[in-house]
Amino acid sequence: MTRIICLANSWKCGNRCIAGIHTIKHKWVRAISNLPDGGVPASMRLIDSREPALLDVIDIPLDKTGSDFGFECENLGILPGKWRLTGKVPPGYLLKFCSHEPYILHNDKRYVTVGYLQYLPFNERQTLQLVKTDQFSVECVRRRRDKSPIWEGRIVAENGSQLTASITDPVLVHKLELGYRPGDSCLVTVSLSMPWKPSDWEEDEQPCWKLIAGVIELPKG
């Protein structure tokens, strides 16, 4: 069993992306299934019929390796077995895992190309990052055909690096639709999507888009 602090349970093509920090190695782990994009279906991830929540400490049966899809370094394959909830951590415990890199995931753009990631040594192909921000804001940028809103979040990290990205945290999106707005101070899990070219994409390189996959509000003071 691999024990992680859950920092992302985000939408991924009808399933979920489950990721967090290894409690012993203090490294990112993304649990992946054998589906083409590694998404984790409910039949695998539910713990006593409950979704893994941010800050949960969970035991997952994971292999020592997993498909990297050609550009990700954090992936471990899910093995048969039951997931277990073993505890919970307070938000402040995570501060030591926050990134101090000059950029939020490699650059100041909204995406990173597969070619750039493949150019890096394997252990530097990071596709997950925890960012502390005291300037977090959200906006409904447009609506789908079914009138459901599409939300984006804006992060200004402590070092001044900035990112505006789509929000794929289902719990936060549900709260936003009910009118709730998070505070300014948050811990934000930023993840890279699988490669996807929008219809107006003109470059040859495959882009992986930065996503706000998990948001944890920090207590005031």
* Dihedral pair phi/psi, residue 147, rounded to 5°: 75, 0
Shared domain check, 164 and 127? yes
Shared domain check, 130 and 67? no
Angle formed at CA 102 by CA 28 and CA 25, multiple of 5 degrees: 20
Residue 203 has pLDDT above 90, yes or no: no
Shared domain check, 199 and 102? yes
Residue 111 has pLDDT above 70, yes or no: yes
pLDDT band of 4, cuts 50, 70, 90? very high
Shared domain check, 204 and 98? yes
3-state secondary structure of 141: strand
Find out whether 54 and 45 touch, Cβ atoms under 8 Å: no
Residue 113 has pLDDT above 70, yes or no: yes
Segment 137-183, tens digit of pLDDT: 999 888 777 777 889 999 999 899 999 999 999 999 999 999 999 99
Structural domain ending residue among the three candidates 90, 125, 155? 90
Rounded Cα gap, residues 149 and 135, in angstroms: 22
Shared domain check, 143 and 203? yes
- List the domain range (segments joined by +) for residue 48: 2-90
pTM: 0.95
pLDDT at 220: 78
Percent of the chain past pLDDT 70, that is, above it, reads 100
Shared domain check, 118 and 210? yes
Rounded Cα gap, residues 117 and 91, in angstroms: 30
pLDDT at 221: 63
Angle formed at CA 111 by CA 144 and CA 132, multiple of 5 degrees: 95
Structural domain ending residue among the three candidates 32, 65, 90? 90
Shared domain check, 140 and 166? yes
The predicted model gives 43-63 an average pLDDT of 96
Indicate the average pLDDT of the chain: 94
Nearest to 208 by CA among 79, 34, 17: 17
Shared domain check, 198 and 149? yes
Percent of the chain past pLDDT 90, that is, above it, reads 88
Find out whether 141 and 185 touch, Cβ atoms under 8 Å: no
pLDDT at 146: 74
Shared domain check, 12 and 77? yes
